[in-house]
Each structure stands twice: as structure tokens, then as C-alpha cells.
Structure 1
């Protein structure tokens, strides 16, 4: 008698990093940029024009990093987890769900304050043995959903873990 059940929540789940993750990652650079713009805006300050020019360059770099963060997509399907990132040159990574062997959740102090987390997936995939899903909302229980799909795919493919204790 076959007691396998279909995958719960059969639809694809699409996740994107929260915009707050950008502030967490780039807060020091944002502060330097703001200070440089303020300093450069004060008249008769030594090297004020240079500080403003450097700050404008940093502002462009921050805009690029923000755009890159917003273009990241994680798609959890029935059999694969697809990670897409990049702005001008897109990279797509496919991870078979049955290869995932462990999960970790991490929250820095700033992520705790913003209600975000990073979920790390450890796998036997040679091209990406670790995949970090950054900027995921803390209340999003994505680990249990992925775990159910991983277990389903392992049963479907007849993959069993042998431990030696």
C-alpha cells in the first residue's frame, strides 16, 4: 500500500529579500555618504567639493547595490529551488530539493530589530553546497515548507540517509 502524499502547498513559492536588508547591509556606507553630502554642502569647507563628489559616487554605488538586492528571487518549486540574482548579468542557480541536507536560520542584531532573518540551506550540490536566503521576514516559516518538500522528494526518489552513531 502506497502511503505517499502529494506535496502540501503544491504551488511555487517566490521569495525576495526585504528592502530592510539593504539598510542592514549598507548602513555604515549610507551614514558616510550622508555625512559627506552634508560636509560638502557647507560653504568654505576645505575639500568640500571633493567630499560631495565622493559622496555622489557612493550614492551611485548604493543605488546599484539596492537594485541588485531587489532583483534577487528565490523560487521554491515542487522539485527544485531556483535562485536568481544579478542586474546586468543574471545568474540562475538550480538546486534539487532532494540534495538539501540541513537548514540554519540566523538573525543578526539588526535583522532582529527589523524582523528579518537569513535562512541557510546546506546541500550535497557541488556547485552550491550552501545557499543563503537573505532578508526573509522572520514570521515566514519557509524552513518547514522546504523541509516537507525535501522529504517528499527524497521518498519519491528512494533516497535514504544512513547514519552511524
Structure 2
């Protein structure tokens, strides 16, 4: 009888600092727009105020979107949930994952964050990026261990030509 190994589901969320990294130019533009709109005697202050408020709402939406993204690594599936007004869920069978990649932009390096990319044989999700996770977290080794277990469990072996 085959022993069934049960893993605890691990939830991964993007760090809030990733929002600052993604939206830095717009975050700097909002206070400038508010300062300009508050000055008397300058042209188009009401238009600048309206644009700044719209930009602020867009930034708020993007922040909520980033914070509601959830990556879950279970026993057999990798689950990606995202969306604000309409939630979507993508499922990726762990045995389909074929490769991993970690990379950091310069600003991510300064903030101690990284992006983990997962490559799979899945048609709908050939590449999935887990953005803005802490640099010290070893998610690749955790996912890799579960991928290898699922491949062994299903009898899937990779054949390479060298």
C-alpha cells in the first residue's frame, strides 16, 4: 500500500512594498498634483485635482488587487486567486510544473523582495509569476519538493536528450 503524504497548505501573498515598487512614478505624481491643485491663481487647478483623484482611485484599486492575490501550494495543486470585483481562480497541477526561476529588479533588491516564476506544461498557465515575496523565503524548494512527490506518485518521469 502506498503511503499518502499530507502537506500543510502554504499560502503566499505579495508584500505591500511591491505595490510601491510597481507604482512609484504614479505615487510621486499624486502629491504633486494635490499640491498644484491647492495653489491659488494657477491655471487648470480643478482639472488637475480631478485627474489626481481619479489617479488615486486607480492606485487604490491596484493596491487592493495586489493584496488580494493569493497563491496556495497544496498537496496536489498550485492555486492562484486574484481579482477585486470578480474573483478568479487558476489551478495548476503540481506534477505539470517543469521549471522555476527567481529574479529581482534593482528596486526589489533594495527592498528585500523577489519574483518567483513557475513554468509548467499547462496550456492555460505556462508561466506564473509570484511577485513581491520576501527574499529569505525558500518557496522554490518547498514547491519543488511537492512537485517531485506528485511526479513520483503519478509515475511521471522526465526524459532528456543530451
The two structures have a TM-score, normalised by structure 1, of 0.94
1:157 lines up with 2:154 in the alignment: yes
1:113-132 equivalences under 5 Å are: 113-132=110-129
- Which ranges in structure 2 are unaligned for 5 or more consecutive residues? none
Residue 6 of structure 1: CA displacement?
Answer: 3.5
Q: Secondary structure at the match of 2:11?
A: strand
Deviations 1:26-55 (A, max 9, x none): 011111112111111111111112111110
Match of 2:48 among 42, 48, 51: 51
Q: Which residue number corresponds to residue 100 of structure 2? A: 103
1:142-153 equivalences under 5 Å are: 142-153=139-150
- Which ranges in structure 1 are unaligned for 5 or more consecutive residues? none
1:72 lines up with 2:58 in the alignment: no
Task: Give the Cα–Cα distance (whole angstroms) in 1 for the partners of residues 153 and 102 of structure 2.
Answer: 27
| Aligned-CA RMSD value | 1.3
Q: Which residue number corresponds to residue 29 of structure 2? A: 32
Deviations 1:6-36 (A, max 9, x none): 36xx200001110001000001111111211
The number of residue pairs the alignment matches comes to 161
Residue 61 of structure 1: CA displacement?
Answer: 0.6
The two structures have a TM-score, normalised by structure 2, of 0.96
Task: Give the Cα–Cα distance (whole angstroms) in 1 for the partners of residues 85 and 46 of structure 2.
Answer: 31
